[in-house]
């Protein structure tokens, strides 16, 4: 199954992807995670992406489309994948369509996790991530058992440098102007499934299953 996860920054794409990976046994491909790994490893890609990410802007399409093209050609994507954070504008959505048509492997669904924008700032500024395994927490909504420590691997939790109030404002503007139109792109193709993301994490997961025609409760 080939799935795209849509939704504003902080809507819960990464959180839901953690569960979807286990349910569907498919690779989770997050362009944000790929860029953060590149920054951590000090690669040329990371160096180039960092300034855009710190400003809350989109990394240029040439770079982003290139890394996705490479990634979805890898053998573990043969049975499908869960794309998170890509496509983030209509040009990326069109590029993905061309890539998948070349592989004769069309998308099955675009799940749009819908959360009122006024709730997003609290979600993003309270987000904490494990520096070792990337598991996502929230200081109030999904806290770790032990403060500052990952439940999954014991790694230290950190706050992303782009999860500050100032950068979040830019990211939300970018979302509204450039990413929200992707919803209409997939609606026109009959692939869009809206999921209410403004409920408990477990309930969102059940709603995701329903949107995919599966019963997970
Ligand atoms: P995205 O990948 O869409 O940017 P995340 O999955 O990283 O979003 O979630 C953003 C923050 O909101 C995290 O701190 C996460 O723990 C929290 N979160 C995710 N889903 C929910 C939910 N349904 N209710 C409350 N908080 C949530
Ligand atoms: P995320 O982890 O999805 O919140 O992404 C963090 C940052 O990485 C974004 O604010 C962008 O700067 C960059 N990024 C992630 N995915 C994309 C994409 N598909 N296109 C352009 N930039 C991206």
User: Is residue 151 within 8 Å of residue 42, measured between CB atoms?
Assistant: no
Position 22 pLDDT exceeds 90: yes
Q: How confident is the model at residue 217, as a pLDDT? A: 74
Question: Domains of the chain: which residue ranges?
Answer: 2-115+166-211
Q: What H or E segment, with its residue span, contains residue 126?
A: none
In this prediction, residue 18 carries a pLDDT of 95
Q: What percentage of the chain exceeds 90 in pLDDT?
A: 98
Ligand 1 atom having least distance to the Cα of 201: 23
136 Cα–ligand 1 center, Å: 8
Share of the chain above pLDDT 70, in %: 100
Q: What is the pLDDT of residue 216?
A: 83
- Let me know: does 214 contact 205? Beta carbons within 8 Å: no
The β-bridge partners of 193 are 111
Write down the CATH number for the domain with range 2-115+166-211.
Answer: 3.40.50.300
Per residue in 26-53, pLDDT (tens digit) is 999 999 999 999 999 999 999 999 999 9
Please indicate whether residue 88 is annotated as part of the active site. yes
The reply to whether 40 belongs to the active site is: no
Ligand 1 mutation pick, 53, 123, 171, max ligand atoms within 8 A of CB: 123
What H or E segment, with its residue span, contains residue 156?
Answer: none
Rounded Cα gap, residues 153 and 63, in angstroms: 31
pLDDT digits over 104-153, tens only? 999 999 999 999 999 999 999 999 999 999 999 999 999 999 999 999 99
Cis peptide before 87 (omega within 30 of 0): yes
- Among protein residues, the one whose CA lies closest to atom 23 of ligand 1: 201
| DSSP state, residue 173 | H
The residue annotated as part of the active site, out of 13, 36, 123, 128, is: 13
Query: Which positions ≥6 away from 148 have C-beta within 8 Å?
Result: 128, 156, 157
> 164-195 pLDDT, tens per residue?
999 999 999 999 999 999 999 999 999 999 99
Q: pLDDT at position 143, please?
A: 98
Mean pLDDT of the chain: 97
For position 213, what pLDDT does the model report?
A: 93
pLDDT digits (tens, 9 = 90+) for 188-216: 999 999 999 999 999 999 999 999 999 88
pTM of the complete model: 0.97
- The strand pairing partners of 192, in sequence order, are 110
How confident is the model over 58-104, as pLDDT tens digits? 999 999 999 999 999 999 999 999 999 999 999 999 999 999 999 99
């Amino acid at each position: 199954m080939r799935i795209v996860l849509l939704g504003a920054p902080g809507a819960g794409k990464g959180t839901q992807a953690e569960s979807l990976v286990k349910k569907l046994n498919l690779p989770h491909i997050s362009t944000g995670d790929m860029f953060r790994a590149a920054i951590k490893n000090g690669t040329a890609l990371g160096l180039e992406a960092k300034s855009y990410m710190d400003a809350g802007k989109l990394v240029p399409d040439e770079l982003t489309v290139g890394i996705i093209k490479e990634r979805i050609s890898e053998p573990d994507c043969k049975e499908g994948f869960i794309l998170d954070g890509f496509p983030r504008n209509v040009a990326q959505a069109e590029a993905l369509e061309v890539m998948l048509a070349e592989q004769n492997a069309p998308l099955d669904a675009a799940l749009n996790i819908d959360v009122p924008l006024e709730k997003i700032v609290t979600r993003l500024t309270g987000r904490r991530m494990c520096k070792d395994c990337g598991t996502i927490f929230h200081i109030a909504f999904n806290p770790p058992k032990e403060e500052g420590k990952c439940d999954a691997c014991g790694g230290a939790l950190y706050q992303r440098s782009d999860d500050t109030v100032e950068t979040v404002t830019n990211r939300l503007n970018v979302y509204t102007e450039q990413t929200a139109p992707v919803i209409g792109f997939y609606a026109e193709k009959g692939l869009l499934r809206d999921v209410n993301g403004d409920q408990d994490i477990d309930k969102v997961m059940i709603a995701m299953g329903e949107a995919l025609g599966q019963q997970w409760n």
